[in-house]
Amino acid sequence: MKNCTIYKTNKNYIVVTQSICDIGARIIDDPIYVIPVETNIEELREKVFDSLNNSRTDVYTPKRDEWSLFEKRDLEKMGQKSFITLYKNSNSCNLALENDILTIQPDQYCEPNKPKSGLCSVKEAAKQINLINTDKTEVMNILIEMLSVSYK
């Protein structure tokens, strides 16, 4: 399965490649793209599908004392100060591609300790798209529409 997450802030789309690390969890990977929300749909499409194509398996899992360095590096690439600020100030969707079926699932910010800090999936709003039968520009229109909805 190939994965990426798209965040939409007031100014940018942040396209973050997600790979599966050697312990089976998803982890941020390269490339990370930051593009203005005014960008044309073709550039957004190119970055999203490039991110999906670069999603990998068996990526190195940082050791406990390495996590803060990895997080700092990833936040710098995204132009963000913290993940919590990013989560609070953006709308986001996870994309998962498997066997030509793309699942787009929006996230919502979960308040601390309810059940946890971070993002929670909005499973009832997920959409599945068969890429064999659907133009990739139409997929981007669906994604943009989903990123325009706030599930906060």
What's the pLDDT at 118? 83
Is 113 a residue whose pLDDT tops 70? no
Structure tokens at 150: 């706030």
How many Å apart are CA 130 and CA 107, to the nearest integer? Answer: 21
In 3D, which of 133, 129, 132, 122 has the Cα closest to residue 143? Answer: 129
pTM given for the model: 0.93
| DSSP structure class, residue 64 | G
92-108 per-position pLDDT tens digit: 999 999 999 999 999 99
Is 117 a residue whose pLDDT tops 80? no
What's the pLDDT at 152? 72
Report H helices in the chain: 41-54, 67-78, 83-88, 136-147
Is 80 a residue whose pLDDT tops 70? yes
